[in-house]
């Protein structure tokens, strides 16, 4: 048993920390204010990230590498891409969550492509920055209820519908769109399609103004008789019993620990800064077994740190299981649920503990308290995670435990 970060990941953590500290933090406030402006500083960083991925002998890190690493290869304990990606994203989000979401070629769509694409598609889209378009005005957590349609026309598909909350939807080179081949066939008929930017019939309607992660563009995209070639359908084109949809949902088992890691990053940023501020105002912050005699703020910080540490270890566990090919749906959701709520709890409390300093824009604490909220919502809300966990624990189907 060992719950420490392996030495081999120290360089990538260090590298990501440098990016967070030297690239993200200095422009963090700028792009929070200038919502929807493109952070051009990131282009340079993207090529560094590409270099890291291509050069890495053990499969690299990043959204496009998830899920491919686990379960095969040599026997024995593995610490691989899933853990590495979690660790990297944690550091980057210590810098800025919105900017981390804006790194080219690290979109959620890339994870979806990595999870279900065939070899040919991997070759074609492997270098594409792909956003993910699932949510619709009438379908959020209930992704089986989507209304967007894909109609076969010769060798092509014609896509019609409206997608919202597409992270990096404007900046990405392509969008992975979920659409149904036949509304009457339920979730089995839901397929994902890669729609490249500039395809006629696809248009970005607007960019959302948001509570947080303002440096990340969140797009509403309309598809009107948008024709995509049949080779852009990811996975199996047949309407098979639930298999395709389940496969697509499994993408989340791999991406949820990464989002959990993001929450841990921003929460750690808030906690560290709050410790600095409180220490400089004369509060002693030693760790104690008996915490009831401590000042209330000191006890609260120790508790927040414990909660954060719990979220971090749950997340590492889920990633470790994925790296070792173990089914981790329950554990991934546990990590996401814990980290999502702890992220909000920690950042909000830190803003509170620092008073007007925490609330004002001279510090980043108020921003972190806004940024963290999305992490308890996207990739499955807190409530969806609890539902998944409960169904697994209680051995219930989605029709029994609704």
Partner 1 sequence: MTRDPIGLALSIMNRISGNPLLDRFGLRTPLEKSAYHGTRAGFRTIALAGREFNRVRNWLPQTRLPARKQSDLFDLTLDDDQQMVTDSLRRLARDVLRPAAAEADETGRIPDHVFLATSELGLPMYAVPAEFGGVAEQQSPVTSVLIAEQLAWGDMGLALAMLAPFSVAQAISRWGTGEQQSRYLPAFCEENPPLASIALDEPAALFDPMKLATTAIATEQGYRLTGEKAQVVLGGQCDLLLVAAALDGKPRLFIVETAGKQLQIADDAGMGLRATGAARIRFENMELPADALLGGDDFHYPAFIDQGALMRCGLAIGTSQAVLDYVIPYCNDRQAFGEPISHRQSVAFMISNLAIETDSMRLLTWRAASRAETGLDFHREACLARLLCNEKSMEVGSNGVQLLGGHGFVKEHPVERWYRDLRSVATHHGGVHA
Catalytic residues: 379
Give dist(CA 110, CA 197) in Å, integer. 15
Query: Which residue from 225, 288, 362, 398 is in contact with partner 1, where contact means CB under 8 A?
Result: 288
* Closest listed residue to residue 234, CA positions, set 118, 63, 149: 118
CB of 3 to partner 1, least distance (A): 4
CB closer to partner 1 out of 48 and 393 = 393
Q: For residue 333, what are its two tokens?
A: 């959701």
Which residues, numbered 322-351, are part of the site for partner 1 (CB under 8 A)? Answer: 334, 337-338
Residues 1-40 that bind partner 1 (CB under 8 A): 1-8
Q: Which is nearer to partner 1, 25 or 299 (CB)?
A: 299
Q: Residue 356, interface with partner 1 (CB under 8 A)?
A: no
Q: Using the rule CB under 8 A, which residue among 77, 184, 284, 356 binds partner 1?
A: 77
Q: What is the DSSP letter of 73?
A: S
Residues near partner 1 (CB under 8 A), total: 49
Q: How far is the CB of 88 from partner 1 (least distance, A)?
A: 15
In angstroms, the CA 368 to CA 267 distance is 8
To the nearest whole angstrom, how small is the minimum distance from the Cβ of residue 55 to partner 1?
21
- With binding defined as CB under 8 A, does residue 309 bind partner 1? yes
Q: Can you say whether the dihedral through the CA atoms of 340, 346, 352, 354 is positive or negative?
A: negative
Q: Which of 280, 284, 293, 356 binds partner 1 (CB under 8 A)?
A: 293
276 touches partner 1 by CB under 8 A: no
Residue 212 or 343 with smaller CB distance to partner 1: 343
Task: Judge contact between 24 and 96, C-beta under 8 A.
Answer: yes
375 is an interface residue for partner 1 by CB under 8 A: no
* CB 42 to partner 1: min, Å: 30
CB 67 to partner 1: min, Å: 19
- Strand (E) or helix (H) holding 334: helix 329-353
Q: What are phi and psi of 60, to 5 degrees?
A: 70, -170
Of 191 and 349, the one with the shorter C-beta distance to partner 1 is 349
- Joined together, the tokens standing for residue 194 give 């890669």
H helical segments located in 144-295: 243-280
CB of 339 to partner 1, least distance (A): 10
The two beta strands, 156-167 and 149-153, are antiparallel
Angle of the 243-280 helix axis to the 108-116 helix axis, nearest 10: 140
CB neighbour list of residue 171: distance below 8 Å, 6 or more residues apart: 38, 102, 104, 129, 131, 217
Using CB under 8 A, pick the residue from 203, 362, 383, 398 that binds partner 1. 383
Nearest to 23 by CA among 94, 73, 106: 94
Question: Which residue, 69 or 79, has its beta carbon nearer to partner 1?
Answer: 79
How many other C-beta atoms are found inside a 10 Å radius of the C-beta of residue 212? Answer: 21
Among 32, 45, 78, 168, binds partner 1 (CB under 8 A): 78
Q: For partner 1, which residue of 306, 327, 361, 398 counts as binding (CB under 8 A)?
A: 306
Task: Give DSSP secondary structure letters for 145-187.
Answer: G---EEEEETTEEEEEEEEEEEETTTTSSEEEEEEES-GGGGG
Please select the residue that binds partner 1; options are 17, 151, 302, 381, rule is CB under 8 A.
302
Strand partners, 161: 223
Residue 75 sits in the site that holds partner 1 (CB under 8 A): no
Judged by beta carbon, residue 219 or residue 342, the one nearer partner 1 is 342
Query: Which residue among 10, 43, 287, 398 contacts partner 1 (CB under 8 A)?
Result: 287
Q: Is 213 left (phi over 0), alpha (psi -120 to 50) or beta?
A: left
Residue 250, CB-side half-sphere exposure with 13 Å CA sphere = 18
Residue among 74, 119, 292, 356 that touches partner 1 (CB under 8 A): 292
Q: How far is the CB of 270 from partner 1 (least distance, A)?
A: 17
Residues lying near partner 1 in the complex (CB under 8 A) are found at 1-8, 77-79, 83, 287-293, 302-303, 305-307, 309-311, 313-314, 316-317, 320, 334, 337-338, 383, 385-387, 389-391, 393-396, 400-402
């Amino acid at each position: 048993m060992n719950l420490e970060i392996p030495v081999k990941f120290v360089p990538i953590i260090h590298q990501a920390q440098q990016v967070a500290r030297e690239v993200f933090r200095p422009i963090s406030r700028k792009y929070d204010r200038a919502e929807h402006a493109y952070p051009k500083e990131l282009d340079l960083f993207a090529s560094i990230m590409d270099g890291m991925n291509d050069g890495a002998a053990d499969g690299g890190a990043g959204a496009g590498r998830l899920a491919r690493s686990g379960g095969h290869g040599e026997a024995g304990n593995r610490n691989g891409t899933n853990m590495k990606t979690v660790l990297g994203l944690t550091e980057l989000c210590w810098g800025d969550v919105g900017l981390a979401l804006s790194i080219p070629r690290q979109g959620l769509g890339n994870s979806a492509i990595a999870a279900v694409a065939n070899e040919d598609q991997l070759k074609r889209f492997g270098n594409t920055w792909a956003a993910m378009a699932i949510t619709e005005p009438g379908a959020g957590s209930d992704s089986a209820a989507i209304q967007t349609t894909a109609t076969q026309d010769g060798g092509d598909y014609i896509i019609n519908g409206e997608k919202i909350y597409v992270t990096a939807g404007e900046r990405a080179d392509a969008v992975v769109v979920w659409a149904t081949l036949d509304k009457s066939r339920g979730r089995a008929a839901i397929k994902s399609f890669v729609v490249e930017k500039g395809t006629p019939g696809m248009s970005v309607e607007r960019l959302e103004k948001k509570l947080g992660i303002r440096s990340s563009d969140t797009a509403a995209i309309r598809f009107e008789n948008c024709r995509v070639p049949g080779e852009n359908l990811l996975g199996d084109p047949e309407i098979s019993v639930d298999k395709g949809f389940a496969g697509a949902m499994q993408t989340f088992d791999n991406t949820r620990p990464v989002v959990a890691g993001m929450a841990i990053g921003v929460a750690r940023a808030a906690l560290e800064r709050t410790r600095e501020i409180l220490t400089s105002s004369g509060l002693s912050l030693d760790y104690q077994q008996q915490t009831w005699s401590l000042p209330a703020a000191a006890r609260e910080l120790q508790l927040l740190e414990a909660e954060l540490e719990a979220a971090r270890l749950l997340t590492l566990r889920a990633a470790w299981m994925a790296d070792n090919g173990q089914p981790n749906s329950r554990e991934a959701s546990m990590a996401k649920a814990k980290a999502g709520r702890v992220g909000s709890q920690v950042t909000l409390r830190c803003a509170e503990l620092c008073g007007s300093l925490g609330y004002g824009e001279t510090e980043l604490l108020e921003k972190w308290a806004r940024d963290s909220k999305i992490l308890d919502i996207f990739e499955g809300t807190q409530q969806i995670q609890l539902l998944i966990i409960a169904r697994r624990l209680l051995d219930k189907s989605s029709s029994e435990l609704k």
